Structure 1
Amino acid sequence: MHQTVTRRHFALGLAALTALPAPGLAQSGAWRPNRPVRVIVPFPPGGATDMLARLIAQRLGDRLGQPLVIENRPGGSGVVGSQALLGAPADGHALILATGDTHTVLPAANPKLPFDAAAFVPVTGIAAVVMALVARPGLGTADPAQFLARARAARPPLSYGSYGVATVSHAAGESIRQAAGIELTHVPYGGAGPAILAVTADQVDCCIVPVAVANPQRSRATMLAVASAERFPLVPDLPTLSELGLPVVADSWIGLLAAPGTPPAIAASIDAAVQQVLGGDILETLRGNGFSPLGFGPARFADYLAAERERWGRVVREARITIEG
């Protein structure tokens, strides 16, 4: 994901956290890198995924005993970054901070990708980005019930903005459309920031974007609901879509993957270091910036990714979301 709306607030938290000392990896016999570790971020600098990488980089490097080098490789909705990792040795010295967009929805929508997303080795599921349904001010819908009534009666259909084709945002909009039994016209934007700004300018009827992107715009748009399993602490007044009778849970995971063929022991050692880093202060920074912490190790992350591929694959097929590259 590559929204930039919360950059200043996240950067302040990042500066405070990286100033704190952290001891080295405490596990005896654990794998350690013998040179700097590359962390590929498949988006430009300044977005949420990039900021999450930089949030944990210094502390994780301290734990592993080698610096982490953030390498931004944007392009092709994650394809460029994924291919960069495929060209690296499967020895733990190169990782990718992947997302539900790059390694779940996109592969389901594009069977011609030059890699198998399921072949990457799960290391750590770090966090999920919680999505929100937001309506434009001129639509005149003050609550979810009014919005759904308006959507069902609209001719032509209402439009919804996403942060790109074949993303979690796009698939979430299709999930809402299917669950509510309404028609919606998809309008893709080049990021969550442009999508929410289009809503505030009454250029699109609604959008599905991360809570952290939508929340600062609450005075200029109507946040209707969150697409999480439970109410989200950042916006506790907002109902979930499930509370409204729409069984839609739409979030985008962010986690570390290693190159195909990376030994399980290496993945386990990196995960152990990450778990030591994801302490109370970082967790609070994550929650305050619209993330829901996961903290999944390799085995649980693998199961989670398999379930995500099935879940979003079904949505992509039913909505006929396609993209070829």
Structure 2
Amino acid sequence: MIGQTTRRLIGAAALALMGTAGAALAYPDGPVTYVIPFNAGGESDVTARYQQQRFRDLTGQDLIIQYLPGAGGAQAWSGLNGINGDGQTIMGTNLPHIVLQPMLQDPGYATEDITNVYMFHFTPDALMVRNDSPYQSVQDVIDAAKAMPGGVTAGGSATNSANHVANQIFMNETGVETTYIPYTGTGATETALVGGEVDVLWGYTTVAVRQEDSTRVLAVATEERHPLFPDVPTFKELGIDMVGGAYRGIAVPASTPEEVRTELSDIIGKINGDPSFREQMEKDGYALIDVPYAEMDAFMAERIEAYTAIAEQLRAQQ
């Protein structure tokens, strides 16, 4: 028979162990490193900066941003699963990059290797030129490209990216040929356009907001005119069937426990739901979406199907 005193001691020990286990499962239990697979200054970086303080407000922990650019994001994504899966290191993720890269080359990872836990925004494609550009309209770009096949240079962020896809769809729809020039990230493309390295830029509505004093937007790839650019036509208005852009979210190493994946997803969802965060993002040209971890498989299946259709054309260029 176990005496009353012994039972009390066992009960106290059990409670202590439960408390320890609970603390071990608390997330996050220290600073979280947020790896951005691109250079500073692009959409992934800007969003992370906006998320930073709100992450601390929600969790009491710092979100430390680090950059690991290279190969259009592949350098970072190929090393994702080599990181400790304790949830203390997370990584930005982009579509269509993580679908098209493995389809068209060997980037060192497969799409299914990337464990996305949340997709939080969408940035519509925008065709942009410098203020001093002779191209005043999309038709001017088309006319120039027809007169000089391959002579019009179009900048964009990386190959097999949303910008690359936009350029290919534009060529398909208009029958012209442009020369696509890939850069290491959105920030680098902005410098390339303003500095005269390229004739036009496949950017996003976010880039157009940042560079509104030095660039002009010729068209946006949305269903309706963008509220920040009411005087800019959509491609569809111009008879060009283009609606698209880039999706961004957060991924974790494959070894990350399910409960941590869910907890991180919930945290990012709360940040996305913050009215001040939404206002800040929308003012900068972002379109917020909410795809939590529980809905990610269905979302990814849909996007993979959509990107597969363009993959063969991009492969033929490589």
With structure 2 as the length reference, what TM-score do the two structures score?
0.79
> Which of 111, 121, 124 does residue 117 from structure 1 map onto?
111
Task: Note closer, same or farther for the CA distance 1:201–1:99 as it changes in structure 2 (3 Å cut).
Answer: same
* Aligned match of 2:168: 174
* Aligned match of 2:71: 76
Task: Note closer, same or farther for the CA distance 1:281–1:149 as it changes in structure 2 (3 Å cut).
Answer: same
Whether 2:266 is the aligned partner of 1:258: answer: no
* Aligned match of 1:55: 50
> Which of 66, 85, 110 does residue 80 from structure 2 map onto?
85
Whether 2:291 is the aligned partner of 1:296: answer: yes
> Among the aligned pairs, what percent are the same residue?
25
- Report how far residue 281 of structure 1 moved: 0.8
The range that moved more, 156-165 or 179-188, is 156-165
Deviations 1:217-264 (A, max 9, x none): 456544210123332222122122122222222311110112224344
Cα distance in 1 between the residues matched to 2:117 and 2:275: 21
Cα distance in 2 between the residues matched to 1:253 and 1:199: 23
* Aligned match of 1:245: 239
* Aligned match of 1:183: 177
The range that moved more, 142-151 or 36-45, is 142-151
Cα distance in 1 between the residues matched to 2:211 and 2:263: 41
Cα distance in 1 between the residues matched to 2:45 and 2:187: 15
Cα distance in 2 between the residues matched to 1:47 and 1:193: 5
* Aligned match of 2:35: 40
Alignment of 1:73-222 (within 5 A): 73-100=68-95, 102-110=97-105, 112-135=106-129, 140-155=134-149, 157-200=151-194, 203-218=197-212, 220-222=214-216
- Report how far residue 71 of structure 1 moved: 2.8
Q: Which runs of 5+ in 1 are unaligned?
A: 1-29
* SS at structure 1 position matched to 2:230: coil
Q: Residue 72 of structure 2 contacts residue 157 of structure 2 at CA under 8 Å; is this kept in 1?
A: no
Cα distance in 1 between the residues matched to 2:77 and 2:243: 26
Which AA in structure 2 matches 1:299?
A: A
Cα distance in 2 between the residues matched to 1:143 and 1:60: 42
* Aligned match of 2:16: none
Q: Residue 32 of structure 1 contacts residue 269 of structure 1 at CA under 8 Å; is this kept in 2?
A: yes
Deviations 1:20-61 (A, max 9, x none): xxxxxxxxxx96333333322112344331231122123224
Paired residues, number: 293
- Report how far residue 88 of structure 1 moved: 2.3
Deviations 1:266-319 (A, max 9, x none): 322222222222211111111122211112211333323332233233323223
Which AA in structure 2 matches 1:42?
A: P
Q: Residue 136 of structure 1 contacts residue 204 of structure 1 at CA under 8 Å; is this kept in 2?
A: no
Provide the alpha-carbon RMSD of the alignment: 2.8
- Report how far residue 196 of structure 1 moved: 4.3
Cα distance in 1 between the residues matched to 2:192 and 2:75: 28
Whether 2:282 is the aligned partner of 1:316: answer: no
Cα distance in 1 between the residues matched to 2:297 and 2:227: 27
- Report how far residue 101 of structure 1 moved: 5.6
The range that moved more, 267-276 or 216-225, is 216-225
- Report how far residue 155 of structure 1 moved: 4.9
Greater C-alpha Rg: 2
Which AA in structure 2 matches 1:281?
A: S
With structure 1 as the length reference, what TM-score do the two structures score?
0.78
Cα distance in 1 between the residues matched to 2:91 and 2:126: 26
Q: Which runs of 5+ in 2 are unaligned?
A: 1-24
Task: Note closer, same or farther for the CA distance 1:90–1:248 as it changes in structure 2 (3 Å cut).
Answer: same
The range that moved more, 191-200 or 47-56, is 191-200
* Aligned match of 1:231: 225
